[in-house]
Amino acid sequence: MNELKNLLSCGIPWIEERAAIALDLQDRHARGDITDDEYNELLQDLIRTDELNKESDDINLKSAVIAAVSAVMKFA
């Protein structure tokens, strides 16, 4: 979760948006607003490689987003 919070202020709009979405999904899941399956599916959508490839050529940033969202998925 700290990784996601750090990405919120990285200065790159699409990364900040994905981090904010992941944190929102985490909160909604914790409140019981979405099921485990919905939560995992939505988080997986955030890290789909084809979408990340369209949005960034920087492999380090892609890796940071994938790692942060994947880490959140492990706590579901």
- 6-44 residue pLDDT tens: 889 988 888 888 889 999 999 999 999 999 999 988 888
- At 52 the pLDDT is 59
Q: How many CB atoms lie within 10 A of CB 68?
A: 23
How would you write the chain as a 3-class SS string?
CHHHHHHCCCCCHHHHHHHHHHHHHHHHHHHCCCCHHHHHHHHHHHCCHHHHHHHCCCHHHHHHHHHHHHHHHCCC
pLDDT digits 0-9 by tens, 44-61 = 888 775 565 666 666 777
- At 58 the pLDDT is 66
pLDDT-based confidence at residue 71 (cuts at 50, 70, 90): confident
- At 36 the pLDDT is 92
| pLDDT, greater one: 76 or 21 | 21
